Structure 1
Amino acid sequence: MISVFGSANMDLVAYVTEAPKRGETITGHRFRTVPGGKGANQAIAAARAGAEVAFLGAVGDDGFGAEMRATLTEAGVDVRGLRQVPGPSGIAHIVVDDHGGNSIIVVPGANGTVTGPCGDDLAAIAASQALLLQLELPMEAVVAAAQAAQVSGVPVILTPAPAQPLPEELLDAVTMIVPNEHEAAAITGVTGPDAALDALLERVQEAVITLGSEGALYGSRAGERLRMPAVTVQAVDTTAAGDTFVGALAVARSEGSGVEDALRFASAAAALSVQREGASTSMPTRPEIEDSLSG
């Protein structure tokens, strides 16, 4: 089982020809709401990629919260650890341009009430083969969850987004960190993925830097280095491509795949997701990923 301790947001997505500049008002050509949040996205991605998944987090007592719970359940995610709190659920305002690029504003809502894993959460984490974490919950909660996994000997995979300073007590409990190129630079203060990877490996055991259309770069303290090229596709919407990559990567690693095979599996999943619109709605199933790899 894979546990995901993280955020659940309703994505409010506006589609535009070009993203607006500061002070500019433009007309979009479409709008939709899609259940998302980096935590929920990774949970759904892992479940669709073939894992048993438990999601631990919070939603509000509004309609968005009910819809997000239903979406996770429909994807096969165990939501017994998804608590309901008074007030609004988290939301993400997303602008997607016609080139597939996006910009995102997150308002935490119920996610901001999470202070750490409770008793049942701790049991789920201890029973897991991996714990996935992101930074859309309060830092104290993320640290507490990582330390709980560390005590139980459970590998921790951290997506450091949105990028922010990372306390040493968190990094001490992290097995693998998976930033994109911009997050890696922000965290390390180093430009260039190879140099940023070196800097990350001074703080964690393994790191994967995702590079969009340039693929992904992996390194470990044991000295292993690997660059995985991306699958060439026409991107429609890159929202949640990184979450799809991480969810699929965790599944492959938990099944015992080696690094190269796990990265190839995750890259195939991410490539399928960017060819579809939305966050949770874009994530491929296990048969789709396997068909892509065999093709």
Structure 2
Amino acid sequence: MSTSPAVVVCGTVNVDTFVGVRQFPAAGETVIAEPLGSPGLGGKGANQAVAAARFLADGPAGVLLLATVGEDAPGDGALAALRDAGVDVTGVARTDELPTGSAFIMNDGAGENIIVVTSGANTVTDPAASLGHPGTDGARVLLAQGELTPEHSAALPRLADGLGARLVLNLAPVTTRDPALLAAADPLVVNESEAADVLGLPRDIGLDEVLDALATAVVERGLARSAVVTLGAHGALVIGGDSGDSDDGDSSCRTTVPSPTPAQVVDTTGAGDAFCGTLAAALAQGKGLRDAAKLAVAAGSLAVESQGAASSYATGRAVRALAAEQG
């Protein structure tokens, strides 16, 4: 595995168990579920690392994952799956004090999901402890999510600075509003409800109001260096970004990037992670933020066409081909 990764991912590793239900249960209700395959690799860190590795597979540099798993059979299986996906796991620590993280995922007939997570070993992943890791030399992008503890997340800007890397922060879930962390994000990646949470807005506020408020916070108040709001089937909104993205050099622009229509929607689990991993990988290859988002929405669209999270991610060649079809 390359000692000079394009992307370093700092995040969580889980083992996912999927079941299918006709409809989600109400409070106090019991429903009968059907198993959907064997338990598989999950966790936002692992998923996004796999997505980035798939996109970069035909390039000279790959992906290093900084994470923690237990000294248990699920941890063994997760590491094997990551290696098979082309992810460098020399930065994954092991602990005998906590089990490998796990997630229980219910899918309904429309492809939507409900996820319950037990963090386990993920709670001790500390970005600051990875400063000086020899496998991080030359990294261009540090990708992280909101699944780390708030205390550990606070060290992400210092890790990015130490690597000389751009911090891509997918604040999902919104576990912190640390101003220094947000200000270092380039971009901050959130969905509509997460954007409202970051801004302290009620969740029932309209989408247009949320997007206007986030754009104002980023462009005028420097909440983050740039932002991307994922909009599900509608694609993504890019706010700010590299000045080279805009013909007139104006970094305050807002651009909507439409998503290709999937051939079928089987399972939306992990589509956001496909988006984030691909976005980070494209940025590491020198793409501007809007062009990277075009590739990311293509990756997300392809991911929903089959069951599972990391197992559903397309190759970089397929992602580029679909993005090219969209113009």
Identity between Structure 1 and Structure 2 (%): 37
| Structure-2 residue corresponding to 1:36 | 42
Matched-pair contact (CA < 8 Å) for 1:100–1:236: yes
Shift of 1:126: 5.2
Whether the 8 Å CA contact 1:81–1:121 is kept in 2: the answer is no
Q: Which residue of 1 aligns with 2:236?
A: 216
For residues 159 and 131 of structure 2, the distance between their equivalents in structure 1, rounded to whole angstroms, comes to 12
Q: 1:168 pairs with 179, 197, 221, which one? A: 179
Aligned AA (1:146): P
Secondary structure in structure 2 of the residue aligned to 1:178:
strand
CA distance in 1, matches of 2:131, 2:227: 30
| Structure 1 residues 54 and 108, CA gap change in structure 2 (3 angstroms) | same
Who is 1:75 aligned against?
A: 85
* Root mean square deviation of aligned Cα: 1.8
Matched, 1:194 2:205: no
Aligned counterpart for 1:12 among listed residues 3, 13, 17 = 17
State the alpha-carbon separation in 2 of the partners of residues 218 and 264 from structure 1.
Answer: 10
What is the CA distance between 1:264 and its match in structure 2? Answer: 1.3
Structure 2, unmatched stretches of 5+, are 1-5, 242-250
> Could you say if the C-alpha distance between residues 119 and 57 of structure 1 is closer, same or farther in structure 2, counting changes exceeding 3 Å?
closer
Q: Distance in 1 between matches of 2:164 and 2:270?
A: 28
* Alignment partners' CA distance in 1, 2:233 and 2:130: 41
Q: Look up the equivalent residue of 1:36 and give its one-letter code.
A: G
* AA in 1 matched with 2:214: L
1:117 counterpart SS class: helix
Say which of 290, 297, 305 aligns to 1:267: 297
1:282 has 2:312 as partner: yes
1:138 corresponds to which of 149, 153, 173: 149
Asked whether the 8 Å contact 1:3–1:125 carries over to 2, the reply is: yes
Q: Separation in 2 of the partners of 1:148 and 1:260?
A: 25
How many aligned positions are there?
295
- Residue 111 of structure 1 deviates from its aligned partner by 0.5
2:260–2:301 contact (8 Å) kept in structure 1 = yes
Residue 256 of structure 2: aligned partner: 227
User: What secondary structure, in the 3-state scheme, does the structure 2 residue paired with 1:94 have?
Assistant: strand
Question: What 5-or-longer segments of structure 1 have no aligned partner?
Answer: none
Once residues 279 and 119 of structure 1 are traced to their aligned partners in structure 2, the CA distance between those partners, rounded to angstroms, is: 26
Q: 1:152 to 1:53 in 2, by over 3 A?
A: closer
Q: Find out whether 1:96 has 2:125 as its counterpart.
A: no
What's the CA shift string for 1:24-81, capped at 9, x where partnerless?
A: 1001122431111000000000000115000001000111101110011001111000
Q: What's the secondary structure of 2:39's corresponding residue?
A: strand
Spell out, residue by residue over 1:147-199, the C-alpha distance to the aligned partner (whole angstroms, 9 max, x if none): 22124431100111112331112123222100011111111134324224225
Deviations 1:59-117 (A, max 9, x none): 00111101110011001111000011013100111111110111111111000122333
Which residue matches 2:189?
178
Residue by residue over 1:215-243, the C-alpha shift from the partner in whole angstroms, topping out at 9 and shown as x without a partner, is: 11111172121001111122111111011
Return the TM-score normalized by structure 2: 0.85
2:245 paired residue number? none
Paired residues of 1:16 and 1:96 also in contact (CA < 8 A): yes
